Structure 1
Amino acid sequence: MNVSPYVFFNGRCEEAAHFYADALGGEVGAIHHLGACVAAAKNPDAVQHTDVSVDGKIILQMSDGVEDAVHSGFSVSLGVQTVEEAKIRFENLVSEGVVIVPLAPSFFSPAFGMLTDKFGVSWIITATA
């Protein structure tokens, strides 16, 4: 079984995809615009689907979503191998965002932190070693 979050961006999906690919050291997959799939689309430039992969694995799927839909109540949890990688990913993701819990050692991880990025997506960063 594979699980990956599917995140909606209400018109900023393409920008978000490139931000996450840069922040996480990944790549943006094919970007499918709504106009190429639905002839009567209100916004043909809206992203119907794309994804971000890191090390060949899809970690985020995304879309501009359905107009006026509200999506909340989740965080994306990112587990990394080292404290150094946790610091890099945390700083990259929090750019123009808000620190919720500063990245610091905890009883369960040598580096744990929480943030909300500039797109309003909540992240939990945890280092395993």
Structure 2
Amino acid sequence: MEAYLTFGGNCEEALNFYKQCLGGEITALMRYEGTPMDGAQLPPEWKQKVLHSVFDAKGARFMASDAPPGQPKPAYSGITMSVYVPGPDHQPASQAFDALSQGGKVTMPFAPPFWGGHFGMLVDKFGVPWMVTSEH
């Protein structure tokens, strides 16, 4: 099972942000231009928006796209992206948490929870909720 995030026109910006935060790569990216949707119904400014993409980061993978023009802006409710950040200690996970929270809102600070390791929750600047965890 893989998560699929939908954005309202800023998917590529979000993917580049996640690339910085998580050290991953955009391994596939398809734009609206040149697809069957590229025609009279597709505004010119939408041609370079993301129709489909794949993001991989140290074994974590998700897909993302921009919603077609005219669709409501996505709002995330009832879901959370969960990322486990491996490392010899909790520092890589702490750095990922801090990076993801830039411009967003921390809902639970990154700290040791009662079950062990480190854990924190946030909503990033794109409105996507995240849980970041480390076993250390």
Instruction: Give the number of the structure whose alpha-carbon radius of gyration is greater.
Output: 2
The Cα offsets for residues 47-106 of structure 1, whole Å up to 9 and x where unpaired, read as 101121123x45121000232154422100111224111101101100111100001111
Match of 1:112, as an amino acid? F
Report how far residue 120 of structure 1 moved: 0.3
- When normalised by structure 2's length, the TM-score is 0.84
Whether contact under 8 Å (1:4, 1:61) holds in the other structure is yes
How many residue pairs end up in the alignment?
126
Give the aligned residue type for 2:107: I
Q: What TM-score results when the alignment is normalised by the length of structure 1?
A: 0.88
| Counterpart for residue 63 of structure 1 | 65
Amino acid at match of 2:132: I
Q: Secondary structure at the match of 2:99?
A: helix
Q: How does 1:62-81 map to 2 (within 5 A)?
A: 62-66=64-68, 67-68=71-72, 70-72=74-76, 73-81=78-86
Cα deviation for residue 30 of structure 1 reads 2.8
Percent identity, aligned pairs only? 33
**Of 21-30 and 10-19, the range deviating more from structure 2:** 21-30
**Separation in 1 of the partners of 2:125 and 2:74?**
17
Unaligned runs of 5+ residues in structure 2 are: none
Task: Provide the residue aligned with 1:4 in structure 2.
Answer: 2
- How far residue 45 of structure 1 moved from its aligned partner, in angstroms, is 2.2
Asked if structure 2 preserves the Cα contact closer than 8 Å seen for 1:79 and 1:126, the reply is yes
Match of 2:51 in 1: 48
Question: What's the secondary structure of 2:28's corresponding residue?
Answer: coil
